[in-house]
Structure 1
Amino acid sequence: MFFKKRNRKERSIFSKKIKKRKEKSQGGIQVKNVEQEQRIFRLRIILGCVVVAICISILTANLYYLQVLSYEDYQTRSNVNRIRVLPVVPQRGIIYDRNHVVLAENRPVFHLVIFPNKEISTLDTINSLNELMDLELTEQDIDHILALSRTRQRFSGVEIADLLTEEQIATFSVNRHKYPNVQISSDLKRFYPFASTTTHAIGYVSRINANDVEKLTAQGKIDNYEGTTAIGKLGIERFYENELHGIAGSREVEVNSHGQILRTLKYNPPTHGRDITLTLDIRLQYYAQELLGDMKGAIVAVEPATGGILAFYSNPSYDPNLFVRGIRNKEYSYLINHPGKPLINRVTQGGYAPASTIKPLLTIMGLNEELITPTSSYFGAAYFSLPGSSHRFRDWRSWGHGWLDSYRAIELSADTYFYDLAYRAGIEKIHEYLDKYGFGRASGIDIHEESLGINPSPDWKYRRYKQGWHIGDTIPIGIGQGYWTTTLIQLVKAHSMLANHGRFVTPHLLKDIVDPKTMGIARIFDDPLLGENLKVKDKSYFDVARAGMYLVVNGPEGTGRKAFTGTTYKAAGKSGTAQIVSIKQGEKYNANALKTEHRDNALFVAFAPYYRPRILVGIILENEGGGSSVGAPVVRKLMDRYFELYPNGYEGEKVSKSIKFGMGGTVEVR
């Protein structure tokens, strides 16, 4: 009962409050406008839909722009990240001798390459591999590798070691799993099988440096060297770089995000470099090296009719493979400081006084200028003096030679005869003829390393010393001394002209170039001087000079007769002994009293057979003494070797003729 009464009471209280609220609302407050609220709600929905539609339109337009209008651009960018174009380095052309013996080839070599990774210590990896594979890396080498690893771009490897041995390759292969960022790569590297025997002729290739890049860029060739690491530095390798290098190819590859190659998409093969055949005979080249032994000097053998070089050796030499590998500081310091200066090419860069080897050439000048005749007589005293001067220009023979003509003057190498000739000709006329012979000018040989020598003249002396020319300066020029210097290749070229009765040829090493596509001859050496002749009033002048050289080797008083006794062929030659230091008036030359570097140089030039020469040899031996006693025997041995190797050619007339050459006497000529 109690609860019932309580519920009724509560209901009555709440019902009264509700009634009061209803009364108030009906009395003064308006009711909400439902339609207006619905209208506002609909506007909001429409506005929201418009905004959404605009956003969708913008998104659709942007997608259209990216997927349709900009498809090619973004496709290209995508391919740049996905596809890489890698250069394919062409194989360098092979160099052969005249008998197709390989003188320079390409051999496969293996390198150890590290790809720097932030998660793996580069220093620890290098030290571990150095110990494991016995790489013999110095601290300086390691510092250099670390420096490269910090500057290289991503995915670009750094070479740790090259020219790996089979044992080193096997050792790494077994432990390959320990070094995930290291791998072995392979490529072709230049190799010279005859090492020091052919260095100064062939030269070598070495790493491309900043100067090479600058030159290639200026020439517009840098794109063709993309990926190439070596370029010709000296000799034939440098002179014929364009032919030997070839044309680079390309390879399009697909890579992943880590730069690893997935597959090859396109391959454009390179064009291999052209093969080159030289005129050299490696058998003669090797024999020339053997003949020179420990003597400093150079020797050249050519075919005088063509200018083709058979042997070209400068001593001492060095191994060019050191530069291909990358010469070490210790090795380079040894070559720089070597007393024999092996880096100098003594054939084309050595400057020497030609001494008496030029007397036949000056004889032609004297005959052509009508200063002498073949048989005009001159008394060769013990010395020559200028009018009004007490200075004596001494003859090599202390008591003189007596009566001389052109033939006997060359045969005996009489100094006083040519002192007098030089005095009467004058330096201007001598300079003119020396220029015609090619002295003081480039010989045209197909290597860049060549000195010009000195063709003396008053203008040259003034430019050099700011002094005037004196008549006393002219006299020693007559015997190839004084201010005159020449290279061995210039001397050989001038005497080749004499052997050819006045016809010039250019000494050269190239025989032909072979096109790798057709395997046919693409080019042979083109001699710009072939067919040009020295203009003289009478061609018999060449016969006089050549006959004098024949007497040197075959005459009863010839200075070179002992060296050529018993040969199956008949040669003609001329010796020369060049003083390095002057001997005071009244003193005699004593080699034992001089330092080695102050002793005379020995020179000798000869060609054979006499009538139709097939070979001409020139030699210079530094500080070795007399040209006839030291140089001539070496030249004779090289000629003997040539005729042994080529026995089927012309070696002289079958029937000899007895001919009298003025005061030079009567000799058998064939």
Structure 2
Amino acid sequence: MPRQRQTIKDPAAELRLFRKRVVLVLALMALIGGLLVARLAWLQVVQHDRYATASHNNSIRAEVIAPARGIITDRNGALLAENVSSFSLYLTPENVPDLDATLRGLEALVSLRPADLERLAQLRRSRPRFEALVLRRYLDESEAARFAVHRHNFPGVELRGDLSRHYPHGPLTAHVVGYVGRVNETELVQASAEQRATDSIGKSGVEKSYDAELQGRVGYQEVEVDAQGRRLRILNRSRAQPGTPLRLNLDLDLQLAAKTALAGRAGAVVALDPRDGQVLAMVSEPTFDPNLFVGGISVEDYQRLLTNPDRPLMDRALRGLYPPGSTIKPLMALAGLTSNTVRPTDHVWCPGWYRLGNSPRRYRCWKREGHGQVDMHRAVPQSCDVYFYDLARRLGIDRMHDSLSRFGLGALTGIDLPGELAGVLPSRAWKRRVRKEIWYPGETLSAGIGQGYNTATTLQLAMATALVASRGTTPTPRLVPPPLGLPVSAAEHPPVASAQQWQTVSDGMHAVVSPGGTAYRALQDAPYSAAGKTGTAQVFGLSQRADDRGRDVAKHLLDHALFIAYAPFEAPRIALAVLVENGVSGSGTAAPVARLVLDAWLLGEGDR
């Protein structure tokens, strides 16, 4: 068997190879160690602030503290809007492991409406995941107790004590005070930090006009939380500043008196102080409970309000447009005097109708047998249509428009409430612009007695009455007095007349409530002097034939009843306008309402 060859070992070469490998390994170890040291230095030194903050945020959460909304009171300090304690359910998305399962579990304990879930989805799209979002407000005590027992099963969900808006007088002040509601998706884009924190915003009335003042300013706090997001302790807090309280010019007792006087009939009452424009009362009937809207009104309740034929959501004082009827006759009389179109002693014969030129059409007076020979002193208290037909013809529609616009008709009063409508004070230019038609002479006659295209709000009529009472000096009507309220300003073009001309018109209105006047029975035994004017607003056109004027019509087609008044006559402290829908008679329906309101103010607590 041949012998195997053996390789001769070279210890020196092996030693050199070993040393090379050791050097290479040490170099690699040094490189890796250097990289680790460099990385450690980068994290510990360069990025220290960033990661220290991230670590801090693992256990510390910043929370917004919602401010308490400012309360609203009447002129005597009676609460109209307050804040009451309530329970709310909050959810922090990043601390909820399974949102769908969590919501299903919560629905077994508390009532979650579709609107609540939609709202949560909207907030999740617009808010960071670490922010606590409102899931449900205004839990009752049983719901709060059920959740508290099962709290450990819902990481990321917590029960908090909040303040919610409450209106102690509910429907009585619903239209004027307004209400707050949840911020919707459209409003969320422009919502302030305060509105986001409280999740509510003023939706109507004073709540909307002065929302910025009522909201207050948010506060912030740092809270230590555990791994499930449960709060352990508060580390730091910056207190929220509550909203500014508002004291309105409104008198709650007078508001109640006006509502009571309407006795459930659809209509409106507005009372102003002619000396400074303070809104003393503003009632619209029928009304609604504003507390329904605070936490988000249910679909059923909202549909019930929308489909109600009596339209309780409509503010008839601010947005209800009605023909002013004969209530504009004192203003027409002043227009005739200031334009030198008539003198107080000029007479017109009233046979019960008026004919324009050779036209066969007869424009009837409300008194079929006519008033006979009338001048201004008799035409205003007797409300003779024929006299004012003739005056309208002599003035012409454009001069009528210019004169009546000085009393604020056809324009916004500028009251510090949202949603006011201006109504219509027609002119040739208005008809050409809006209806693309020419003006006809017969339309001037209808406009002269407050019919035709004329429409006005109850607030406008109250303001016009206040201007007569103050002889043109009543400023813009205001619910919130200065300095907090909007600036009070005089009318841009107030009515201007001589002292004698003002006195002639005032005497005519005083005669309305005196023996022989159309409203004498309503105020005959009043212990104060007053001035007023009745009116009826035609709901639909009647034939001019005499036998059609008194025919039976459906209740909703009956004339609206109006009455304007101010008192005391010598030194007016209140001016008002009353509208009763389908009330038929200004003297028989609206004037008695005004009497009760005047009594409440001049003889009751308000006067004191």
Cα offset for 1:466?
Answer: 2.2
Contact 1:383/1:416, CA 8 A, preserved across alignment: yes
User: How far off its partner does 1:330 sit?
Assistant: 1.4
Could you report, residue by residue, the CA deviation over 1:558-592 in whole angstroms, capped at 9, with x for unpaired residues?
A: 11111101111000000001111122122346667
SS of the residue corresponding to residue 14 of structure 2 reads: helix
2:532 corresponding residue in structure 1? 573
Structure 2 distance, partners of 1:194, 1:256, is: 44
Q: Which residue of 2 aligns with 1:71?
A: 48
Structure 1 residues 589 and 565, CA gap change in structure 2 (3 angstroms): farther
Matched, 1:416 2:386: yes
Q: 2:352 corresponds to which residue?
A: 382
Contact 1:196–1:320 (8 Å) recurs in 2: yes
* CA distance 1:390–1:466, shift in 2 (3 Å): same
The C-alpha deviation readout for 1:58-107, integer Å capped at 9, x for no partner, is: 21111111111121222233334443221111110000000000000011
Distance in 2 (CA, whole Å) between partners of 1:31 and 1:581 is 130
Structure 2 residue aligned with 1:59: 36
Match of 1:479 among 438, 449, 455: 449
Q: Residues 433-582 of structure 1 correspond to what in structure 2 (within 5 A)?
A: 433-511=403-481, 523-524=484-485, 526-529=487-490, 533-536=494-497, 538-554=498-514, 556-582=515-541
**AA aligned opposite 2:507:** A
Q: Contact 2:109–2:146 (CA<8 Å) still a contact in 1?
A: no
Between the aligned partners of 1:523 and 1:124, the Cα distance in structure 2 is 48
- The amino acid across from 1:474 in the alignment is T
Change (3 A) 1:606 1:153: same
Q: Would you say 1:125 and 2:105 are equivalent positions?
A: yes
**Offset at residue 173 of structure 1 (A):** 4.9
Report the CA distance shift for 1:245/1:56 in structure 2 as closer, same or farther (over 3 A).
Answer: same
Partner of 1:97: 74
The aligned amino acid for 2:49 is E
Distance in 1 separating the partners of 2:304 and 2:63: 39
2:532 partner SS: strand
Confirm or deny: 8 A CA contact 2:466 2:576 kept in the other structure: no
* Residue equivalent to 1:341: 311
Distance of aligned partners of 1:326 and 1:648 in 2 relative to their CA distance in 1, 3 Å threshold: closer
1:357 matched to 2:327? The reply is yes
1:417-432 aligned at under 5 Å gives the runs: 417-432=387-402
Q: Which residue does 2:291 correspond to in 1?
A: 321
Structure 1 range deviating more: 194-203 or 575-584: 575-584
Asked whether 1:631 is paired with 2:590, we answer yes
Gaps of 5+ in 1: 1-16, 217-221, 513-521, 650-670
| Alpha carbons 1:591, 1:599 under 8 Å: kept | no
Unaligned runs of 5+ in 2: none
Query: How far off is 1:329 after superposition?
Result: 1.4
Residue number in structure 2 paired with 1:652: none
Contact 2:83 2:166 in 1 (8 A): yes
Structure 1 contact 247–273 (Cα < 8 Å) conserved:
yes
Structure 1 stretch displaced more, 38-47 or 436-445: 38-47
Per mean C-alpha deviation after superposition, the further-off stretch among 299-308 and 429-438 is 429-438
The whole-number CA distance in structure 2 between the counterparts of 1:178 and 1:223 is 32
Whole-Å separation in 2 of the counterparts to 1:535 and 1:149: 56
For residues 598 and 154 of structure 2, the distance between their equivalents in structure 1, rounded to whole angstroms, comes to 60
Secondary structure of residue in 2 paired with 1:593: coil
Contact kept, 8 Å, 2:543 with 2:549, in 1: the verdict is: no
Between the aligned partners of 1:626 and 1:469, the Cα distance in structure 2 is 30
Would the alpha carbon gap of residues 179 and 256 (structure 1) be closer, same or farther in structure 2, given more than 3 Å must change? closer
The residue aligned with 2:183 is 208
Q: What's the CA shift string for 1:194-246, capped at 9, x where partnerless?
A: 00000110010000001212343xxxxx3343322110000000000110011
CA distance in 2, matches of 1:263, 1:284: 50
> What letter matches 1:51 in structure 2?
L
Deviates most, 440-449 or 160-169: 160-169
Amino acid at match of 1:523: L
d(CA) in 2 for partners of 1:154, 1:499: 61
Which letter does structure 2 place at the counterpart of 1:581? F
Q: Secondary structure at the match of 1:616?
A: strand
- Asked if 1:607 corresponds to 2:577, the answer is no
In our comparison, the structure showing a higher alpha carbon Rg is 1
Deviates more, 1:336-345 or 1:260-269: 260-269
Residue 522 of structure 2 aligns to a residue whose secondary structure is coil
One-letter amino acid of the counterpart of residue 191, structure 1: H
Distance in 2 between residues matched to 1:489 and 1:553, nearest whole Å: 22
Give the equivalent residue in structure 2 for 1:5: none
* Cα shift readout 1:403-454 (whole Å, capped 9, x = no counterpart): 2221111111111111011101111111111222211111111111211101
Distance in 2, matches of 1:54 and 1:181, equals: 46
Q: CA deviation at 1:648?
A: 6.3
Tell me the distance in 1 between the aligned counterparts of 2:275 and 2:163.
39
CA contact (8 A) 1:145 1:158 kept: no
Residue 597 of structure 1 corresponds to which residue in structure 2?
556
SS of the residue corresponding to residue 197 of structure 2 reads coil
Give distance in 1, aligned partners of 2:416 and 2:477.
Answer: 8
Q: Is 1:199–1:318's contact at 8 Å kept on the other side of the alignment? A: yes
Instruction: Work out whether residues 504 and 534 of structure 1, in 8 Å CA contact, stay in contact via their aligned partners in 2.
Output: no
| In structure 1, distance between residues paired with 2:162 and 2:491 | 42
Q: Specify the code of the residue in structure 1 equivalent to 2:489.
A: P
Distance across 1 between alignment mates of 2:320 and 2:439: 25
1:358 is displaced (CA, Å) by 0.7
TM-score, length of structure 1 as denominator length: 0.84
Distance change (3 Å), C-alpha of 1:506 and 1:119: closer
Q: Which amino acid aligns with 1:577?
A: T
TM-score, normalization by structure 2: 0.92
Q: State the 1:118 CA deviation.
A: 3.3
Work out which of the residue numbers 172, 177, 181 in structure 2 matches 1:197: 172
Aligned CA distance change for structure 1 residues 186 and 560 (closer, same or farther; 3 Å): same
Q: Which amino acid aligns with 1:529?
A: A
Letter in 1 for 2:368: S
Please tell me whether the aligned partners of residues 117 and 135 of structure 2 are also in contact (alpha carbons under 8 angstroms): no
Q: Distance in 1 between matches of 2:363 and 2:234?
A: 80
Change (3 A) 1:163 1:589: farther
SS in 2 for 1:348: coil
> Does the CA-based 8 Å contact 2:85-2:163 persist in structure 1?
yes
Give the Cα–Cα distance (whole angstroms) in 2 for the partners of residues 559 and 30 of structure 1. 143
> Pairwise CA RMSD of aligned residues?
2.9
- Pairing 1:103-122 to 2, within 5 Å after superposition: 103-112=80-89, 117-118=97-98, 121-122=101-102
CA distance 1:198–1:141, change in 2 (3 Å): closer
AA partner of residue 98 (structure 1):
R
CA distance change for structure 1 residues 250 and 635 in 2, over 3 Å: closer, same or farther? same
Q: 1:482: Cα distance to partner?
A: 0.6
Deviation at 1:480, TM superposition (A): 0.5
- 1:261-340, aligned counterparts within 5 Å? 261-340=231-310
Q: Percent identity at matched positions? A: 37
What letter is aligned with 1:108? S
Per-residue deviation, 1:544: 0.9
Change (3 A) 1:648 1:481: closer
- Contact 2:334–2:502 (CA under 8 A) maintained in structure 1: yes
Structure 2 CA distance, aligned partners of 1:86 and 1:169? 22
Partner Cα separation in structure 2 for residue 648 and residue 202 of structure 1: 23
- Measured after TM superposition, the shift of residue 303 of structure 1 is 0.8
**Whole-Å Cα distance in 2 between the matches of residues 39 and 587 of structure 1?**
136
C-alpha distance in 2 between matches for 1:486 and 1:345: 13
Task: Please say if residues 365 and 385 of structure 2, whose CA atoms lie closer than 8 Å, have aligned partners that are also in contact.
Answer: yes
